[in-house]
Amino acid sequence: MSREKNGFIDSFTNQEYKYGFVTDIEMETAPRGLNEDIIRFISSRKAEPDFLLDFRLKAYKKWLTMKEPRWAHLRFPEIDYQDIIYYAAPKRKPALSSLDEVDPDLLETFNKLGISLEEQKRLTGVAVDAVFDSVSVKTTFRKTLEKHGIIFCSFSDAVRDYPDLVKKYMGSVVPYGDNYFAALNSAVFSDGSFCYIPKGVRCPVELSTYFRINTAGTGQFERTLIIADEGSYVSYMEGCTAPMRDENQLHAAIVEIIALKDATVKYSTVQNWYPGDREGKGGIYNFVTKRGMCKGSNSRISWTQVETGSAITWKYPSCVLFGDNSVGEFYSVAVTNNHQQADTGSKMIHIGKNTRSTIISKGISAGFSNNSYRGLVRISKRATGSRNFSQCDSLLLGDRCGAHTFPSVNVENSSSVMEHEATTSKISDDQLFYCNQRGIDTESAIGLIVNGYAREVLKQLPMEFAVEAQKLLSISLEGSVG
């Protein structure tokens, strides 16, 4: 390694996190810690029906019996679950009917994040649900969507307005006792997004949720529930940011997707939670459970994720391919820099006949970071004629970072096919020199190479997101991209 390159890597690992500001706004918070009273407090604050309180309490009791998972390739100190604030909401009640009633500081926050909630700026055909700490502040485009019978609202509103749908599907893909963090979320979740696409409807706009953690000492526990009824289609995007803080903040979310017969759901995430500083101080602990159920035949669920943020990422967006001929896809780019750690991948559980799944994972590690792919492909006895293709590539920048692959495969019938490919590569000095000699500086050259490397995944993103994701990739690794 030449000295210049080391110097360069040092300089770009020093990049500023651009979303690290704090909004000064009056909040109502629950006292620190977790017990039954806190859960009742959250539930009553949200005037929830009994079934939901029951669900929460069952989850809490289950959680008490569970152990925090430590099998991932991650190192982090003991988390004190009694030192977390489980509920925080802006004091001034947000209203859904008019933007005028939303706190101007909140609007400003989302404007700074480049997310416009204002009517006249919503030209891009993206409906937005913005979640600030624990509460959804504003869902846009609601009227247009209602015309098609599409329900897109905060989780709390869904509980109030569509309790039957919530009751039927909540926990049907990720049961409250699924894992430690899912149980915690099920006990204390605050808000999130809800979406229902009726039979045969193709959602005319991209739906998107932006999550923002603001208050210090809070955890964010949101839930997303997406139901695509027979023959429907929806593309859903999720983005997240948080202020820079020296302490670690916990984010434990759940996303559940149900695709009925012939339905398609595309779920895209650009995750940019605060990753901590250069020395690895602060940052979000991101323990997320995302799972989709291809319930009906010919249904399809596609996960695309660009993971650049968080001090720790622990997530495995998965598909249960229950319906015959159903399709599950997972496209991922995970970037780790400085002292970030990511353990991410996917599970594809083939149950129906002739089901197909694809996993494309691109890990990029720089600095002192660790980046692991963890995957499970299971093709059950019943799932005859099924196929999986997995490709896991790792790209290393510098020689102080790590890349790891933990694939696990289990094929229980003989008519199914499973393919797995894996590569590890480095950006070489010769490649950078070649670019330099053509007039491209090292920073742009790395941007070019990294974006080329991730192209297969980036092209899966909706247009509105792809540009943002490209920029983010370059920002998290360096200055700008050509």
Partner 1 sequence: MLSIKNLHVSIAGKEILKGLSLEVREGEVHAIMGPNGTGKSTLASVIVGREDFHVDSGEIMYKGRDLMGLSVEERALEGIFLGFQYPVEIPGVSMTSFLRTAVNEHRKYRGLDPLTGAEFLALMEERKELIEIHSDLTNRSVNEGFSGGEKKRNEIFQMAMLQPALAILDETDSGLDIDALKVVANGVNRLRTPGNATVVITHYQRLLEYIIPDFVHVLYDGRIIKSGGKELALELEEKGYEWLKLQES
| Closest distance of CB 209 from partner 1, Å | 31
Round to whole Å and give the CA distance between 103 and 137. 9
Phi, psi (5° rounding) for residue 32? -60, 150
Phi, psi dihedrals of residue 84, rounded to the nearest 5°:
-110, 145
Residues 289-322 as b/e (b if ≥16 CB within 10 A, e otherwise) read: bbbbbbbbbbbbbbbbbbbbbbbbbbbbbbbbbb
Q: Of 125 and 482, which CB lies nearer to partner 1 in the complex structure?
A: 482
CB of 182 to partner 1, least distance (A): 36
Report the residue number, 115 or 466, with the smaller CB distance to partner 1: 466
- Rounded to a whole number of angstroms, the minimum distance from the CB of residue 11 to partner 1 is 15
Helix or strand or coil: residue 95?
coil
How far apart are the C-alpha atoms of 188 and 242, rounded to whole Å? Answer: 20
How far apart are CB 10 and partner 1 at their closest, in Å? 17
Task: Please identify, using beta-carbon distances, which residue of 162 and 433 lies nearer to partner 1.
Answer: 433
Q: Are strands 192-197 and 223-228 parallel, antiparallel or unpaired?
A: parallel
Nearest to 11 by CA among 482, 481, 477: 477
Q: Of residues 252-311, which lie at the interface with partner 1 (CB under 8 A)?
A: none
Nearer to partner 1, 312 or 397 (CB): 397
Supply the minimum distance, in Å, between the C-beta of residue 49 and partner 1. Answer: 52
- The count of residues interacting with partner 1 (CB under 8 A) is 22
Q: Two tokens at 249?
A: 């903040």
Using rule CB under 8 A, residue 132 touches partner 1? no
User: What does the alpha-carbon distance between residue 352 and residue 378 come to, in Å, rounded to a whole number?
Assistant: 12
Mask: binding to partner 1, 454-473, rule CB under 8 A, as x and -? -x------------------
* Residue 446 C-beta: closest distance to partner 1, Å: 11
Q: How far is the CB of 451 from partner 1 (least distance, A)?
A: 8
Q: Considering beta carbons, is residue 6 or 35 the nearer one to partner 1?
A: 6
- Phi/psi for 375 (5° steps) reads -135, 150
CA distance 176 to 56: 8
Closer by beta carbon to partner 1, 138 or else 362:
362
Q: Which is nearer to partner 1, 144 or 436 (CB)?
A: 436
As measured in angstroms, the least distance from the Cβ of 458 to partner 1 is 11
Q: Which residues contact 350 (CB under 8 A, 6 or more apart)?
A: 321, 357, 377, 378, 379, 380, 383, 386, 388, 416
What residue type is assigned to position 121 of the chain?
A: K
Tell me, residue by residue from 1 to 40, as one string, x for binding to partner 1 by CB under 8 A and - for no binding: -x-x------------------------------------
Cβ 443 to partner 1 shortest distance, Å: 10
DSSP state string for 246-293: SSEEEE--EEEEEE-TT-EEEEEEEE------TTS-SEEEEEEEEEEE
CB contact set of 445 (below 8 Å; sequence gap of 6+): 431, 432, 435, 436
Instruction: Locate 374 and state its tokens.
Output: 């963890």
Minimum CB distance to partner 1, residue 404 (Å): 21
Q: Which residue has the tokens 């998972």?
A: 69
Given the complex with partner 1, which of 69 and 452 has the nearer CB atom?
452
Concatenated DSSP letters for 110-131?
HHHTT----GGG--SSEEEEEE
Which residue, 164 or 430, is less far from partner 1 as judged by CB? Answer: 430
153/395 with CB nearer partner 1: 395
Pairwise CA distance, residues 43 & 37, whole Å: 10
Residue closer to partner 1, measured from CB, 171 or 363: 363
Residue-by-residue DSSP string for 396-464: ESSSS-EEEEEEEEEE-STT-EEEEEEEEEE--HHHHHHHHHTT--HHHHHHHHHHHHHHHHHTTS-HH
Enumerate residues 135-154 that contact partner 1 by CB under 8 A.
Answer: none
What's the closest the beta carbon of residue 306 comes to partner 1, in angstroms?
Answer: 16
Q: What's the chain's Rg over C-alpha atoms? A: 22
Site for partner 1 in 416-455 (CB under 8 A): 425, 428, 430-431, 433-441, 444, 448-449, 452-453, 455
Looking at the Cβ atoms of 76 and 433, the one nearer to partner 1 is 433
Backbone phi, then psi, for 481, in 5-degree steps? -120, 145
The single residue listed with the structure tokens 């360069």 is: 8
Q: From the CB of 6, what's the least distance to partner 1, in Å? A: 13
Quick one: which of 18, 23, 86 has its CA closest to 214?
23
Binding-site ranges for partner 1 (CB under 8 A)? 2, 4, 425, 428, 430-431, 433-441, 444, 448-449, 452-453, 455, 482
